């Protein structure tokens, strides 16, 4: 039998002791639990970044993993903590919408349980660190086989934080940057499917900057050239070959990106 | 039976190959060892940061883990390397005081063994990387069941690096910032107990800045407001709601923090 | 039996979801695989940094580990993906020379297989993320016992990216900085053996700066002093005691470093 696996995604960084405290709590309850770091570099309190991250990463995981997410600006408020089953993934999250983008392509309704059963929490629960005091011990108990129904009561409402779809604008599409990756690549809310039947060539406008080259890979133009391509997440991505598009194009999450018919020069 | 676990805490970063070399050494001796990263982002040679980190993280771990700590500005000098048992925790550390804050609340005396038995070291031992050449192989041998008494001789002296307690000052308390976390929250040497019987409201002074609001969570004031609360480590913490207190209040480790009776306006 | 181990070395950072996607792919194929992070902080697309990193880290690992390296500016071009056996190490890498420095001290010829058998890849393979779509699944299949010969065909040519050896210059040696570590220590292409029979004292010149002190450890001079010593990787290293040599000496990868006879003052 495979030992249970708990993944961790936080905005804690690792210079602070918070992630380690969670690891200790998990191992104290389930010494066999395998702990896998996904990220501790989610920008502080950036729920949208976390939402994109989870939607892009979790689909690749096997069903049996338990994913704990602690990006939680609302810690200590009345915001709920949730156990989620969606798309055959299991998550423990604050109720701030970080998981709903992941659920977007699900055909079935998610199971959402509001954590209320304190028997599976640390005692006492602090006001400022529910990751350590609630989510970590609950994950450990789940990894030991606890039935999720014992965690609390089914919820029928939750915070929903979807990425807006792009909009049609004349012959073109208008969307926006939804994620800037480690390389400065700009990932948008425009999917490959949205552009599928548009006649080529296409012109891309990022903020005020025009990108006239569509490629298949990062190497389809010379160093320093701006290029549009389909990212590994299936979305329109604007990159600078061997460079940093966010920096060069002064773009960031929310920057408007439009796709329109390009000029035919021949 | 649970496979042994070795945790690693260093100031090496991960862009350099040093952490990886330690992992390889451990696995070459004990292929079954489970290796758990706690942090490789301790600021370079910052023993006090490491001391706070360990004191805040290790109490949550089960007793059977072996904690290797390599923040070691004195590498290659006559400073000793130590095996420590304290508070039912087991550590391998340079003798620089990084573990003594963790020991502060221990009721029993620590067991401290000075590593001298070279049979459990790599051969040859470099002058600049004892983490790889001494601590990693010793941890691996311990994880295989080696009796710690075989590592060397009991030590009765070691470097002690405690966090100074706060001081009484008239009706108030004067302490200091002892840790700045990833969010810029300022954690002090003032414990909840120190403030427990002071009449409310309280006024907090951080450097030259006055903080008049005491809260329970990060959400007890509007965005941008400075707030005093009890951190998840049980200490007075100064935070900026949805902001970065270290930056906004220009505070750092060592900044004076005082607690005094506040104004009653009604 | 020991569960298989797959190590990961990338330039992806962990704020982006790419590393996590690879972990998910591996675990979906081999749920028992142990995944070990070496680094995700290789500077973006810096193949030389990766090459030094691997040469300094992998020799410490046991033979049974499988090392996946994704620093891959050429993704989507015709560059090959390779399975390598060299020095009793097993790697999966893009064909960009990141592994050849590791091979330098090997007495036997490496086994190099060009990955062509798509049965072990994800379907479909993206144009921009072969780490997730080719290397991760291939590593997972190898960890389950797949014979590497089934991955493709033996290659007889590959990109070679060796560190240049230093050169003799009169009575001295001229080399260069090949790696700057997390502490700002400057590691050169000059090995201890190159300097072994040179009469002492030695003088070191880093760019325009003279370093007249040779030591054994970081503590062989006062704080702030520049010192030459033999690094834990066996190479000449220039350090600033309790400081950052790269910053203080304004040096970087490629900065010229020479070793020459020093002044005898007595």
The pLDDT score that the predictor gives to residue C266 is 54
Average pLDDT over residues A75-95: 94
Instruction: Tell whether A27 is within 8 A of chain B (Cβ).
Output: yes
Using the 8-state DSSP alphabet, how is residue B119 labeled? G
Q: Where are the beta strands (DSSP E) in chain A?
A: 5-10, 34-39, 66-70, 81-86, 89-94, 111-115, 152-154, 167-169, 172-180, 186-191, 202-206, 209-211, 226-230, 235-240, 256-261
The pLDDT score that the predictor gives to residue B218 is 86
Residues B173-230 pLDDT 10s: 999 999 999 999 999 999 999 999 999 999 999 999 999 999 998 888 889 999 999 9
Residues A37-53 pLDDT 10s: 999 999 999 999 999 99
Q: Does residue C200 carry a pLDDT above 90?
A: yes
Question: Which of C45, C50, C219, C242 best tests the B interface by mutation, with the highest count of B CBs <10 A?
Answer: C219
Which one of A2, A39, A218 has the shortest CB-CB distance to C75?
A218
Tell me what ipTM this predicted complex has: 0.96
Distance CA A184, CA A251 (A): 9
Do the Cβ atoms of B128 and C219 come closer than 8 Å? no
Q: Does residue C73 carry a pLDDT above 70?
A: yes
Q: Using a CB-CB distance cutoff of 8 angstroms, which residues of chain B are in contact with residue A15?
A: 39, 41-43, 49, 53, 181-182
At B104, the pLDDT band (50, 70, 90 cuts) reads confident
Residues 6+ apart with CB under 8 A from C203: C210, C211, C212, C259, C260, C261, C262, C263
In which residue are the tokens 């002492």 written?
Answer: C200
Average pLDDT over residues A5-9: 98
Q: Using a CB-CB distance cutoff of 8 angstroms, which residues of chain C are in contact with residue B24?
A: 57-62, 65
Q: Does residue A77 carry a pLDDT above 90?
A: no
Q: Where are the beta strands (DSSP E) in B34-164?
A: 34-39, 66-70, 81-86, 89-94, 111-115, 152-154
Average pLDDT over residues C15-27: 98
User: Per DSSP, what are the bridge partners of residue A90?
Assistant: A66, A85
The pLDDT score that the predictor gives to residue B69 is 98
Q: Please report, for residues A43, A138, A163, C83, C187, the alpha-carbon distance to residue A160 in angstroms, rounded to integers and kept in the order given.
A: 20, 23, 10, 44, 51
Which one of A39, A65, A233 has the shortest CB-CB distance to C14?
A39
Q: Does residue C86 carry a pLDDT above 80?
A: yes
Q: Does residue B266 carry a pLDDT above 70?
A: no
The two three-digit tokens of residue A96, written as one number: 């701030």
Q: Using a CB-CB distance cutoff of 8 angstroms, which residues of chain A are in contact with residue C75?
A: 217-219
Using the 8-state DSSP alphabet, how is residue C100 labeled? H
Distance CA B27, CA B33 (A): 6
Distance CA A217, CA A116 (A): 48
Residues B78-102 pLDDT 10s: 899 999 999 899 999 999 999 999 9
Distance CA B56, CA C255 (A): 42
The pLDDT score that the predictor gives to residue C182 is 96
Q: In angstroms, what separates the C-alpha of C237 from chain B's closest C-alpha?
A: 11
Q: Does residue B265 carry a pLDDT above 80?
A: no
Residues A154-178 pLDDT 10s: 999 999 998 899 999 999 999 999 9
Q: Does residue A232 carry a pLDDT above 60?
A: yes
Q: Does residue A265 carry a pLDDT above 80?
A: no
Give φ, ψ of C151 to 5 degrees. -80, -25
The pLDDT score that the predictor gives to residue B208 is 94
The better pLDDT of the pair C89, B263 is held by C89
User: What percent of chain C lies above the pLDDT cut of 90?
Assistant: 87
The pLDDT score that the predictor gives to residue A83 is 98
Residues A106-152 pLDDT 10s: 778 999 999 999 999 999 999 999 999 999 999 999 999 999 999 99
């Amino acid at each position: 039998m495979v030992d249970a696996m708990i993944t961790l995604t936080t905005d804690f960084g690792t210079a602070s002791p918070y992630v380690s405290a969670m690891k200790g709590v998990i191992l104290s309850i389930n010494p066999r639990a395998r702990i896998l770091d996904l990220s501790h570099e989610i920008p502080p309190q950036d729920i949208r970044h976390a939402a994109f991250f989870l939607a892009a990463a979790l689909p690749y995981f096997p069903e049996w993993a338990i994913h704990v997410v602690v990006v939680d600006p609302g810690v200590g408020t009345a915001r709920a903590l949730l156990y989620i089953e969606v798309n055959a993934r299991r998550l423990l999250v604050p109720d701030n919408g970080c998981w709903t983008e992941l659920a977007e392509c699900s055909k079935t309704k998610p199971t959402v349980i509001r954590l209320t059963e304190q028997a599976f929490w640390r005692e006492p629960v602090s006001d400022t660190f529910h990751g350590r005091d609630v989510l970590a011990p609950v994950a450990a108990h789940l990894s030991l086989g606890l039935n999720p129904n014992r965690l609390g009561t089914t919820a029928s409402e939750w915070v929903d934080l979807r990425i807006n779809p792009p909009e049609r604008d004349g012959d073109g599409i208008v969307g926006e940057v939804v994620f800037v990756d480690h390389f400065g690549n700009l990932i948008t809310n425009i999917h490959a499917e949205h552009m599928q039947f548009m006649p080529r060539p296409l012109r891309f406008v990022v903020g005020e900057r025009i990108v006239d080259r569509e490629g298949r890979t990062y190497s389809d133009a010379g160093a320093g050239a701006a290029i549009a391509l389909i990212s590994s997440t299936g979305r329109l991505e604007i990159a600078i070959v061997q460079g940093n598009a966010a920096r060069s194009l002064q773009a960031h999450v929310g920057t408007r990106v439009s796709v329109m018919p390009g000029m035919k020069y021949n």
